[in-house]
Structure 1
């Protein structure tokens, strides 16, 4: 992803928030047969406060990606959507697409069986714990034999990125009044309704407004 200094996302806490809120990631590797991509849930490593992530792939995706032997690119995609030029006013304009995304690259470390079980357990808990009656990994009707057989069909990994490109393109190049119009349009009932993107733009706009106030 080509970086644009105007849209660069450099705040570690904001990138961690993006990763945490958008765990369904794309994994990309360059192999002797060409590019290969897979899609898996990837989480921040609970034991670290940087951008280290953990996850797993089903076998034989570990061999297809050369997991642990070559660089892996993990793409996290946040809110995104179409921006109509009618929100810019009466002047000449073309549409664009607003988005938030982060690319983490590095050679992943392969997890031990015990570490992988911890990650699998945490992955299930992350999404089940929102329910009143969660079905956690080690709870009945599952038993230890079932869970351990399940783990053998996966390969867990931990990746601490050695390269990072994070980008937040949210109409920062437009005047405040235009940004407010875009947010209102995305948060309304029209054909381009996108409340998730509207909320992300509001968060970024409020941060910029606060920064301007601090400088003033």
Structure 2
């Protein structure tokens, strides 16, 4: 990630929020065959979180034979989470500021995957389904037909990643004057070609935190 120290996110809870709100992640491995990248939903594992609130533990699964392609368990992997992002037009700046930019929220996390047992993998798969189904009016669970679900689960490999380090950025116009930030937020909330309400929320969060003298979460 580009070296931009003034946009660095160091707060663990802020990084966890990015993971939680944007679970579709990219898993990247440097293998003997070269660079391998795959895309899967990833959840924070909350079990035992009270023992170490600063720990970040991820759980997911890959479809076979991705576990072979990634050489899972043999080395560290990078997991990339991409939050809201979008173009920021200089139309929202004062006339003398005419260079556009791209605002974004991005988190890179590293750790060595632990390959789960079949039973743990099935539990994690169930938690993944339950997590996303809870927004549905009539949630569907793997319990509907556990035998069939377990047969299908054999085509997947569950993983747990205890994050050893992370590099996260929230580039959200923190280097702009407050009145310019307000115009950016208004532009992102508008109906123009670069409208992005989710990005507007992030810029507003960072702006409020800056005014309050704290890190955005």
Q: What secondary structure, in the 3-state scheme, does the structure 1 residue paired with 2:60 have?
A: strand
Give the C-alpha shift of residue 163 in structure 1: 2.3
Contact kept, 8 Å, 1:29 with 1:37, in 2: the verdict is yes
In structure 2, the partner of 1:94 is: 99
Give the match for residue 205 of structure 2: 203
Query: Partner residue of 1:38?
Result: 38
Residue 185 (structure 2) pairs with residue 183 (structure 1): yes
Cα offset for 1:92?
4.2
Provide the aligned length of Structure 1 versus Structure 2. 209
Distance 2:190 2:130 in 1: 34
Partners of 1:98 and 1:171 within 8 A in 2: yes
The residue number in structure 2 matching 1:122 is 127
Q: In the aligned structure 2, how far is the partner of 1:191 from the partner of 1:129?
A: 32
Other structure's SS at 2:130 match: helix
Distance 1:56 1:123 in 2: 10
Q: State the partner residue of 2:116.
A: 111
TM-score, structure 2 as length reference: 0.93
Q: Show structure 1 runs of 5+ residues with no match.
A: none
After superposition, the CA RMSD in angstroms is 1.2
Deviations 1:181-204 (A, max 9, x none): 100000011221100000111111
Partner of 1:18: 18
1:84 aligns to what? 89
Is contact 1:77-1:102 (8 Å) kept?
yes
After the TM superposition, list the runs of 4 or more consecutive aligned residues in structure 1 that deviate by more than 4 angstroms: none
Matching residue of 1:3: 3
